[in-house]
Amino acid sequence: MIMERRRFLKLSAASMGCLLFDPALSLAAPAETKRLAMLYDNAKCVGCRACQMACKQWNKLSPVSTDPQGIYESPRRLDPNSWTQIRLARYPVSAERDYLFMKVGCMHCGEPACVAVCPTSALKKQPNGLVTFERDLCNGCGYCTQFCPFHIPQLEVINRLTGEAKSSKCTFCQDRVAEGLRPYCIQSCPAGALDWGERDAMLEKARERVAALKAGEFPQANLYGETQLGGLGRLYVLLAPPEVYGLPADPKYPAISTLWQKIVQPVGQAVFGATILGLVAAFFAARRNVHMEEVE
């Protein structure tokens, strides 16, 4: 088919226009996605670590060798292959019991600092509240590991010299949740200490549990995660003050992250832009004003 030049240009312009037009804009706004959350009931947890095993199983994480060290935790801390961990805290919580368990993992903050500092968008905050991670996009900069108020993301350093590394953290089994399933650790819990659902419903449930525990033998019972850092996606029914478990009572969004992302970087780009514009203007002014016959 022979096409006139004018017609070709018209068609090209029209197709370019279609490409530039974001189809998402034309669709009606999707129904509001409800924020999801995990609820951990400290009073029910028996510290069996089935959740640790399940996590490794679903996410295909290698086992980590831990020598017997005469302590309960195994592994001792989170690592690139251990995204959740049961910790033990010594605390006289009742007359019969002087220890507490704690399930550690990504909090899926409402205001995640890791997402703000990630230069690759490997970490994203989803409308359903999950802070997801795409390993392929991660370049190993490790900023997330340095800005998380809970020190959760773990950096697997492959080569310190070249900087090759990969970050990792609990994703609430993002692949399962995307299919309408629950995180794998939840269904492994034999004690029913873990629950999953819409955050509002989990909060409701947590409040009821705290009230019941307070009325019973745990007067210090409290709910952790309702308001901290934009509200956490991991809610805790605790039997003792958060500090006992190593949780910061009032975790702070890193101020340097705000300063860096919201002030320094935009200001820097403005400085570069202004410098270029200034130099271009100076060049044209100098070209008009400088008489080359006077130049040595």
Partner 1 sequence: MSVRLKGTDSAIMIRWIPKYTTVERFLHWVHTASFIPLALTGFVLFAPWLEPLAQGAAGVTIRLIHRIAAVFFGGVPIVYAILQPRRMVLNLKEFLTFSRYDLLWLKGAFPYYVLGRHEEMPPQPRFNTGERLTAIVLVLGTLIFGLTGLPMWFLKGVMPVWLFQLAVIIHDLMFIITFAMFMVHFYLAVVHPMMWQSLVSMRYGVVSESYARAHHAMWYYGEKRAKEMWEQHRREVGH
Exactly one of 23, 68, 287, 293 binds partner 1 (CB under 8 A); which one? 287
Considering Cα of 125, then 120, then 85, then 181, what sign does the dihedral take? Answer: positive
CA distances in angstroms from 256 to 16, 58, 159, 273, listed in the order given: 41, 35, 27, 24
Distance in Å, CB of 14 to partner 1, minimum: 27
Could you tell me what percentage of the chain is helix, strand and coil, using 3-state DSSP and rounding each to the nearest 5?
40, 15, 45
x/- contact string, 226-255, with partner 1 (CB under 8 A)? ----------------------------x-
Q: How far apart are CA 254 and CA 262, in angstroms?
A: 12
For position 4 contacting partner 1 by CB under 8 A, the verdict is no
Cβ closest to partner 1, residue 11 vs residue 285 = 285
Q: How far apart are CA 29 and CA 32, in angstroms?
A: 8
Considering Cα of 275, then 281, then 287, then 291, what sign does the dihedral take? Answer: negative
Exactly one of 74, 81, 126, 139 binds partner 1 (CB under 8 A); which one? 139
- Beta strands 234-238 and 222-224: pairing type? antiparallel
Structure-token match 């934009």, residue found: 230
For position 160 contacting partner 1 by CB under 8 A, the verdict is yes
For position 155 contacting partner 1 by CB under 8 A, the verdict is yes
Q: How far apart are CA 120 and CA 223, in angstroms?
A: 34
User: What radius of gyration, in Å, describes the C-alpha atoms of the chain?
Assistant: 27
x/- contact string, 81-120, with partner 1 (CB under 8 A)? --------------------------------------xx
For position 277 contacting partner 1 by CB under 8 A, the verdict is no
For position 20 contacting partner 1 by CB under 8 A, the verdict is no
Query: Cα–Cα–Cα angle for 223, 225, 226, nearest 5°?
Result: 80
Distance in Å, CB of 121 to partner 1, minimum: 6
For position 164 contacting partner 1 by CB under 8 A, the verdict is yes
Exactly one of 17, 162, 180, 293 binds partner 1 (CB under 8 A); which one? 162
Query: Cα–Cα–Cα angle for 232, 238, 241, nearest 5°?
Result: 95
For position 122 contacting partner 1 by CB under 8 A, the verdict is yes
Distance in Å, CB of 137 to partner 1, minimum: 5
Stretch that binds partner 1, among 48-56, 149-157, 231-239, 240-248 (CB under 8 A): 149-157
- Applying CB under 8 A, which residues contact partner 1? 119-122, 136-143, 145-147, 151, 155, 157, 160-164, 254, 256-257, 259-260, 264-265, 267-269, 271-272, 275-276, 279, 282-283, 285-287, 289-292, 294-296
